[in-house]
Structures are given as structure tokens and as C-alpha cells.
């Protein structure tokens, strides 16, 4: 049985509204990217404790820390970025999260990220090494304009870092659609190393926009059917719908559109005979 979670700062910056909408949809998890208009890694210890208390009182767990680590240019000094990653591991333990997200770097100004392949791979390996022995799993998300934009580069990163025992793929069909990759073909490359999903869909007709799951070109029905029925996937499906706004560093949906996104995903799961919690 899969577990539905979501980036609750797409609902609201306020914890009360995040929790209310999740509970109204019967969801028992959130993916923690931000609250009170602050990024998760910028929150002081007191605010983390307060948010954890509110979540515990509401019976909501944290599926992942949606850190922005690696969503910087490759010529950014690595030391501070590695420190941010270690901070994300600490926050994951404090919040009881099973997963931590990382990204795979933008090119320098005027450059091509492919020219920095060796540096990208080595930085990714060092982050994975820094997580060894910690009670979390690291996932890398496919994202536009980063090294890990194509399915082949995503696979290369995971293989270089030691395989899915060390690093798993966060599979985002909408991001593949955005950059004109066929999500089903991407799934053939990454299905066996995927350990987490971001549920985003989108269409280029008439121009690029995000859609509820199943209403775009993300092939979500086929991918989820194969993942759940054939590959026995029973992990997290995390709503990141971007239905109101889709920016480089964050998207937003608002309460009603987030509910719409939640119900679209549940409809797909019902259609393919998959249970959820």
C-alpha cells in the first residue's frame, strides 16, 4: 500500500492551514520544505520543535526533508553546501523524516553543466558518503537545467554513488515532461532505482503548464500501475502539483487546488486498483 504525502507549503505558509488541508484529505504525512515563509534548513531549533509538536498533535508524520541542497551553480564553494547537507540530516532526525532530498547542480554562468560532470559526480558521492550511518535515505530529484535533468544522467549519478542502496531516484514525471523527455521512457531507465515519487503532471498544449495528475503528458497511470502492480512499490507519492505557480525554487497551489491535486491522484490509484494510506 502506497503512502500519500505532499509538499505542504504548496497549501499555505501557515502550519495550521497546512495541517487542516492534509487532514481534510485524509493524509497522514507531509514533505517538509518550509513553513512560516522560511525554508526548512533556515528554521531555528525552537520553530522546528514547535512545528514537530503541532504535527504530532495532529497525527501527521514527515516523509522527507525537501532540502534545496545542490540546487546551486556548480562553481559555488562546496564546503558550505556540504554543511547545509549535514544540517538537513540533523533536521531529518529531529523531525522523524525517513528521506532527505538533494539536487545535482546548475551550470556556471555561461557554461554547460556537462562540462562539469566529474565535479558533479564527486560532490554527489561526498554527500552520500556523509549520510552513511544516518537513519535516512537520500534521494535525488530530476530537475530542469541541472545535471540530473535527463534520465540517463539521473541513472549515472545513482550508479556512481554506489547504486540504490546508497542513493535513490525521486521520480518526477512533470519535470521530465517540462524538458521534453518521455516520462515512460524515463521510467524504463529509472524504475529499478526509484525510491520516491513527486506527483506532478503537465502539458505543453498550448504552452507549458502544470496539471492535476493524469490530466497532462506525464503518463502517470501507466507509470504508477507498473510501479505498484508489477514492481511492488509501496513507498511515498508526494504531491508537488504547482497548480497556481511554478517557480525555479518553489511552486504553489493553495488549499483548493491542492485538494484537487490530491483527489486526482486518488482517482488514478482507484482506477489501477491500488490502496493508499
Identify the CA nearest to 71 among candidates 147, 17, 157, 133. 147
Cα-based distances in Å from 191 to 12, 30, 70, 149, 195:
32, 23, 23, 16, 9
Nearest to 140 by CA among 220, 198, 96: 198
- State what percent of residues in the chain have pLDDT above 90: 97
Read off the C-alpha cell for 151. Answer: 534520465
pLDDT surpassing 90 at residue 250:
no
**Cell match 525552537: residue?**
46
Is residue 245's pLDDT more than 70? no
pLDDT digits (tens, 9 = 90+) for 189-221: 999 999 999 999 999 999 999 999 999 999 999
The mean pLDDT value for 33-39 works out to 98
pLDDT in tens, 20-35: 999 999 999 999 999 9
Task: Judge if the upstream peptide bond of residue 195 is cis by omega within 30 degrees of 0.
Answer: no
Whether the pLDDT of residue 249 is over 90: the answer is no
Helices and strands (H, E) in the chain, number of each type: 9, 14
Q: Does residue 52 register a pLDDT over 70?
A: yes
* pLDDT over 80 at 246, yes or no: no
Which CATH class for the 3-271 domain?
A: alpha beta
The confidence band for 117, taking pLDDT boundaries of 50, 70 and 90, is: very high
Q: How confident is the model at residue 251 (pLDDT cuts 50, 70, 90)?
A: confident
Give the confidence band of 244 by pLDDT, cuts at 50, 70, 90. confident
Domain ranges of the chain: 3-271
Amino acid at each position: 500500500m502506497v503512502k500519500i504525502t505532499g509538499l505542504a507549503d504548496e497549501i499555505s505558509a501557515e502550519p495550521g492551514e497546512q495541517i487542516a488541508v492534509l487532514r481534510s484529505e485524509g493524509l497522514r504525512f507531509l514533505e517538509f520544505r518550509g513553513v512560516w515563509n522560511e525554508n526548512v534548513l533556515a528554521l531555528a531549533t525552537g520553530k522546528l520543535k514547535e512545528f514537530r509538536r503541532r504535527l504530532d498533535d495532529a497525527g501527521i508524520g514527515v516523509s522527507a526533508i525537501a532540502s534545496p541542497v545542490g540546487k546551486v551553480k556548480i562553481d559555488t564553494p562546496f564546503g558550505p553546501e556540504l554543511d547545509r547537507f549535514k544540517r538537513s540530516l540533523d533536521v531529518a532526525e529531529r523531525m522523524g523524516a525517513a528521506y532527505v532530498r538533494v539536487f545535482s547542480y546548475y551550470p556556471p554562468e555561461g557554461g554547460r553543466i556537462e562540462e562539469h560532470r566529474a565535479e558533479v559526480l564527486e560532490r554527489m558521492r561526498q554527500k552520500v558518503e556523509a549520510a552513511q550511518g544516518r537513519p535516512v535515505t537520500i534521494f535525488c530529484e530530476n530537475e530542469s537545467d541541472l545535471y540530473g535533468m535527463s534520465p540517463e544522467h539521473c541513472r549515472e549519478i545513482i550508479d556512481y554513488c554506489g547504486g540504490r542502496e546508497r542513493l535513490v531516484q525521486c521520480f518526477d514525471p512533470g519535470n521530465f515532461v517540462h524538458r521534453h523527455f518521455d516520462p515512460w521512457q524515463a521510467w524504463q531507465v529509472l524504475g529499478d532505482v526509484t525510491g520516491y515519487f513527486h506527483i506532478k503532471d503537465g502539458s505543453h498544449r498550448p504552452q507549458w503548464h502544470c496539471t492535476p495528475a493524469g490530466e497532462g503528458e506525464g503518463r502517470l497511470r501507466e507509470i504508477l500501475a507498473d510501479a505498484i502492480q508489477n514492481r511492488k512499490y509501496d513507498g511515498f507519492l508526494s504531491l508537488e502539483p504547482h497548480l497556481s505557480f511554478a517557480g525555479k525554487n518553489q511552486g504553489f497551489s493553495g488549499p483548493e487546488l491542492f485538494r484537487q491535486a490530491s483527489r486526482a491522484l486518488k482517482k488514478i490509484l482507484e482506477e489501477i486498483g491500488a490502496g493508499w494510506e
